[in-house]
């Protein structure tokens, strides 16, 4: 190839200039290689447990710079900087604020690494690992219910609801009563409360039960307590009962009509809402001698009593019935009966009486002293006790010719009339006198 000095020098310069330009471009490109993170969790996730103490190192960022320049690590974002801090030169990441998986289960955290030429950012998905740090929590407290006393055994009456935000066994809840109840059971898994024994309002009107909700973490079980108040409502299942038994009294036989013998009282054994009582006589009220007020229970004399009347002499045994009344005052099926014994006290209101108003007899004058005249004389006082005691004697002309015995009588006696002085037909042919 031929060339001239001018043209040859020019071409040589051009070639040299291009070479320098290419060399400078290659060197500049090689000096600007950015750093890059090497931690595995940038491609997956980083697990940090929620109970990690503040100040704990949770990981160390690792990065390489092809140019070998010193690297500076950091974290960006308001939320990320509240929870995490990065030691700039070492890349150690430590916790600044407590974690709570139940409040936030994961975080997207952006870390940085920089050299002298610039900053590289990459995001890590940080999963907050669960620990059993929450006790079960009851809903809709307070727990209070009312059930009737005739609720059948086996009936479900309530459901307790509690949840635990922890995961796994730490979030699984079992229920129980503390202490166990003889009358109620609770389903461990579902919290359903069931009647296990017959209830009785008259024995127990309320139950205070303590429900225990426990999670199933064997290493660190947590539990909570709640009160369950069960009020038993009364059902009319009890018959009435008489008070102040037994009923027995004595009254004077001359007690006038309207005289109050006694007030009878019965009560409803159902204590929740006791009903009124109606009173009636169902037997033993001979000739309706007594009246019983239906509402007040006042027993009064309603006829003319007489102890000497054979129907009444032994007294009265009256059967009385008490009946619970419905709200409309009609009788219910709840009843009770009892007897009331009434004895009549004697009053001295009866004189002695002979079995005849006149006695006649024929005897011979030869009758000896002491001879008993063939007469049947009987005397009786129907009163009782001392009221039936009396004296018998003879009065009238010539009554001294005869004697009578006995002279002292209680109740009833057969009298004997005897000759006391010898008789003489020619002197006295007949005798007339009185026995009193």
- Asked if 178 and 212 count as a contact pair (C-beta separation under 8 A), the reply is yes
Residue 261 CB neighbours (<10 A): 21
Whether residue 293 is annotated as binding a ligand: the answer is: no
CA dihedral of 178, 184, 190, 191, whole degrees rounded to 10:
-50
Q: How far from chain centre, in Å, is Cα 23?
A: 99
Take residue 405 and report the two structure tokens written for it: 């015995």
Residue 326, annotated as binding a ligand: no
**327 labeled binding residue:** no
The length of the chain in residues reads 436
Is 170 labelled a binding residue? yes
Q: Is 132 annotated as a binding residue?
A: yes
Nearest to 96 by CA among 78, 81, 112: 81
Q: How far apart are CA 246 and CA 305, in angstroms?
A: 23
Q: State whether the Cα torsion 81-85-87-92 is positive or negative.
A: negative
134 labeled part of a ligand binding site:
yes
Task: Confirm or deny that 250 is annotated as ligand binding.
Answer: no
Question: Annotation-wise, does 237 bind a ligand?
Answer: yes
The answer on whether 349 is annotated among ligand-binding residues is no
Alpha carbon distance 163, 213 (integer Å): 9
Any known ligand binding at 252?
no
The verdict on whether residue 187 carries a ligand-binding annotation is no
- 424 annotated to bind ligand: no
Strands 247-252 and 118-129, sheet pairing:
unpaired
Long-range contact pairs involving 94-97 (C-beta distance under 8 Å, separation at least 24): 94/55, 94/56, 94/57, 94/58, 95/48, 95/52, 95/53, 95/54, 95/55, 95/56, 95/58, 96/54, 97/54
Instruction: Check whether 33 is labelled as a binding-site residue.
Output: yes
Give the pairing type, strands 223-233 and 143-148: parallel
Q: Name which of 158, 191, 160 is nearest 174 in CA terms.
A: 191
264 is in an annotated binding site: no
414 assigned binding-site residue:
no
215 in a labelled binding site:
yes
244 is in an annotated binding site: no
Kindly report the number of other CB atoms within 10 A of residue 71's CB atom.
Answer: 20
Please check if 133 is assigned to a binding site: yes
Q: Is 308 annotated as a binding residue?
A: no
Specify binding-site residues for Ca(2+).
Answer: 32-33, 50, 65, 67, 69, 100, 102, 115, 130-134, 149, 164, 166, 170, 200, 202, 215, 234-238, 268, 270, 324
Specify binding-site residues.
Answer: 32-33, 50, 65, 67, 69, 100, 102, 115, 130-134, 149, 164, 166, 170, 200, 202, 215, 234-238, 268, 270, 324
């Amino acid at each position: 190839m031929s060339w001239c000095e001018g043209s040859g020098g020019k071409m040589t310069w051009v070639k040299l200039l291009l070479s320098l330009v290419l060399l400078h471009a290659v060197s500049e490109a090689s000096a600007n290689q950015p750093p890059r993170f090497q931690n595995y969790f940038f491609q997956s996730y980083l697990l940090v447990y929620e109970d990690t103490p503040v100040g704990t190192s949770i990981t160390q960022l690792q990065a390489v710079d092809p140019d070998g320049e010193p690297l500076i690590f950091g974290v960006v974002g308001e939320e990320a900087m509240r929870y995490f801090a990065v030691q700039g030169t070492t890349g150690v990441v430590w916790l600044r604020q407590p974690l709570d998986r139940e409040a936030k289960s994961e975080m997207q955290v952006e870390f940085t690494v920089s050299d002298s030429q610039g900053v590289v950012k990459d995001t890590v998905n940080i999963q907050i690992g669960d620990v059993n740090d929450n006790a079960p929590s009851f809903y809709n407290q307070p727990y209070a219910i009312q059930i009737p006393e005739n609720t059948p055994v086996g009936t479900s009456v309530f459901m307790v609801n509690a949840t635990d935000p922890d995961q796994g066994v730490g979030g699984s809840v079992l229920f129980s009563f503390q202490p166990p109840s003889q009358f109620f059971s609770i389903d461990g898994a579902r919290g359903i409360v069931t009647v296990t024994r017959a209830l009785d309002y008259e024995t127990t009107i309320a139950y205070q039960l303590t429900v225990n909700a426990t999670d199933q973490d064997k290493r660190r079980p947590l539990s909570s307590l709640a009160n369950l108040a069960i009020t038993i409502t009364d059902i009319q299942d009890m018959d009435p009962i008489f008070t102040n038994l037994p009923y027995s009294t004595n009254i004077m036989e001359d007690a006038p009509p309207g005289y109050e013998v006694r007030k009878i009282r019965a009560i409803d054994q159902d204590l929740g809402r006791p009903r009124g009582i109606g009173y009636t006589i169902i037997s033993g009220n001979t000739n309706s001698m007594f009246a019983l007020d239906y509402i007040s229970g006042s027993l009064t004399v309603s006829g003319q009593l007489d102890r000497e009347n054979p129907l009444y002499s032994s007294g009265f045994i009256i059967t009385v019935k008490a009946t619970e009344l419905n709200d409309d005052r009609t009788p219910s099926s709840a009843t009770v009966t009892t007897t009331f014994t009434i004895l009549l006290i004697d009053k001295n209101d009866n004189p002695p009486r002979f079995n005849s108003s006149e006695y006649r007899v024929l005897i011979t004058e030869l009758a000896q002293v002491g001879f008993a005249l063939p007469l049947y004389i009987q005397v009786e006082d129907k009163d009782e006790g001392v009221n039936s005691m009396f004296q018998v004697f003879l009065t009238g002309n010539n009554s001294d010719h005869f004697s009578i015995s006995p002279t002292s009588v209680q109740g009833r006696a057969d009298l004997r009339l005897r000759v006391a002085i010898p008789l003489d037909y020619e002197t006295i042919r007949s005798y007339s006198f009185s026995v009193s």
